[in-house]
Structure 1
Amino acid sequence: MSSRLVGVGVGPGDPELVTVKGVNALRAAEVVVVPVLDSGERGRAEATVLHYVPAEKIVRVVFALNERTDRARREAAWDAAGERVAALLRRHGGVAFATIGDPNVYSTFTYLAQTIVDSVPGVVIETVPGITAMQDLAARSGAVLTEGTEPLTLVPVTAGSAVLKDALAGPGTVVAYKFGRQAAEVAEALRETGRIGDAVWGSALGLAEESIRPAGELEDGEPLPYLSTLIAPARREGGRGGKL
């Protein structure tokens, strides 16, 4: 029996943003794996999937998603998660893995797929694209991501504020992911580069606790959710079509 692992992007949180192809992939799989924290709390991926498949079809697998400092613990958690999913593939053949956003953009699925390829010979790896947080934030806030010849830069702030500052100093729109724990540093970088005026940030997009606010309010120093997203639009002059 051939094994197939499909990474399905389920969007940033709003269940209506899962694509038709994504829903079909979830329903076609024999089991759907969702990542959960070691605390056991339900994550966004699981909450979204439950709108489309019955709970008995879902398998919760613990990933060290909140482990940022202990590499050995993180690696051990990855190995254990990989073994669990490999066992499911051997037993069922067709397994879907639900991931928030897109499976090829800063996704847990990337690391899982690398592990599975080594442990399950002949496994077929596929992905179904999903709507990303930056796309949803752009739609909800009215921020245009890019136009004409403008570049678009996506930065994980977990890489350090210096990386963000370099991006903000350049042309085009800059999107920052995972900056909630470094909101003060992000506000400083925006201010130093003159980009804070038009920037917007959002968290829990599409959920009851959704928050979308001007980036200028980051200077308040309040704690933000880890999975916060920021858009700093390009400096645009010349009106419609000015950069074509």
Structure 2
Amino acid sequence: MSGKLTGVGVGPGDPELVTVKGVNALRDAAVVVVPVMAAPDGTDVGEPGRAEATVLHYVDAAKVVRVVFALNEREDRPRREAAWDAAGSRVAELLRAHGMVAFATIGDPNVYSTFTYLAQTIGALLPGTVIETVPGITAMQDLAARSGAVLAEGTEPLTLVPVTAGAAVLKEALEGPGTVVAYKFGRLAGEVATALRETGRTESAVWGSALGLPEESIRPAAELTGGGPLPYLSTLIAPARRDGGRGGKL
């Protein structure tokens, strides 16, 4: 009998932003896997991640299984691959033992999510496994709601850029039309500020981190400086250039 692995988007951090369908998927699963970062020796760092903290608002802790993923390994590819193999094997064990497993991921499971790689691994290890996803609210949606920034109007394009690809990629997007959203830019905050300034996109831009959490910060992008890195999961919205007319781009 085939098992079922469901990737559940649990939003950017605010437990009230988990969908009803997401809560039902978490509760219906026999086990809920949450990803945790690896310490230098490859073991569990011991600190609860954002996904785990959100999940615990809806399911009993006894049902939650922490699995180490190479979330913070970008340089050592062999180490990263070994960590992925170990994580995939652990989730495969859980599927064989319990049948229905949910994997909780911040944001949406189909947008820059760890779940994508896990699903590929499980598909190879357990070919008969049913793999599904439950969409989640993304950080850009939450930041737009909390800051009042409009993501897109009329025929405007919306571009999403992970700044882990480099600030040059962000600058190229900012030189184009429409709204640009940047993810994971905290370590390159100074370069992001420069790209905004050089493309004339600073004035209406906003950034935020820890959305929906006690340490939440939402600030104008004009306050970005090169004074030091920001939280890794910081999000930036640089709205499209608009003339203020209503419905002008319909």
Residue 19 of structure 1 is matched in structure 2 by 19
Distance in 2, Cα, partners of 1:205 & 1:121: 37
Work out whether 1:180 is the aligned partner of 2:186: yes
Once the two structures are superposed, what CA deviation does each residue of 1:54-109 show, in whole Å capped at 9, x if it has no partner? 00000000011111211111111111000000010011110000000000000000
Give 1:191 shift.
0.4
Distance in 2, Cα, partners of 1:230 & 1:118: 36
Q: How does 1:74-89 map to 2 (within 5 A)?
A: 74-89=80-95
Work out whether 1:224 is the aligned partner of 2:230: yes
What secondary structure is seen at the aligned counterpart in 1 of 2:127?
coil
Q: How does 1:83-162 map to 2 (within 5 A)?
A: 83-162=89-168
Runs of 4+ in 1 over 6 A off after TM superposition: none
- State percent identity of aligned pairs: 84
Distance in 2, Cα, partners of 1:172 & 1:56: 46
Distance in 2, Cα, partners of 1:68 & 1:41: 20
Distance in 2, Cα, partners of 1:165 & 1:69: 24
Distance in 1, Cα, partners of 2:149 & 2:228: 23
The amino acid that maps onto 1:197 is E
The amino acid that maps onto 1:81 is A
Distance in 1, Cα, partners of 2:226 & 2:120: 41
- Comparing 207-216 with 217-226, greater Cα deviation is found at 217-226
What secondary structure is seen at the aligned counterpart in 2 of 1:2?
coil
Distance in 1, Cα, partners of 2:89 & 2:53: 24
Distance in 1, Cα, partners of 2:177 & 2:156: 7
Once the two structures are superposed, what CA deviation does each residue of 1:100-155 show, in whole Å capped at 9, x if it has no partner? 00000000000000000000021000000000000000000000000000000000
| TM-score normalized with structure 2 length | 0.96
Aligned partner (choices 46, 49, 53) of residue 47 of structure 1: 53
Distance in 1, Cα, partners of 2:139 & 2:2: 34
Q: Is the 8 A contact 2:189 2:226 kept in 1?
A: no
Distance in 2, Cα, partners of 1:188 & 1:73: 34
Give 1:221 shift.
2.0
Distance in 2, Cα, partners of 1:96 & 1:223: 33
What secondary structure is seen at the aligned counterpart in 1 of 2:224?
helix
The amino acid that maps onto 2:11 is G
| TM-score normalized with structure 1 length | 0.99
Give 1:238 shift.
4.7
Once the two structures are superposed, what CA deviation does each residue of 1:144-196 show, in whole Å capped at 9, x if it has no partner? 00000000000000011111011000000000000000000000000000001
Distance in 2, Cα, partners of 1:87 & 1:26: 19
The amino acid that maps onto 2:114 is T
Work out whether 1:35 is the aligned partner of 2:35: yes
What secondary structure is seen at the aligned counterpart in 1 of 2:230?
coil
Q: Is the 8 A contact 1:200 1:230 kept in 2?
A: yes
- The total of aligned residue pairs comes to 244
Unaligned runs of 5+ in 1: none
What secondary structure is seen at the aligned counterpart in 2 of 1:219?
coil
What secondary structure is seen at the aligned counterpart in 2 of 1:163?
helix
Residue 208 of structure 1 is matched in structure 2 by 214
Distance in 2, Cα, partners of 1:213 & 1:13: 18
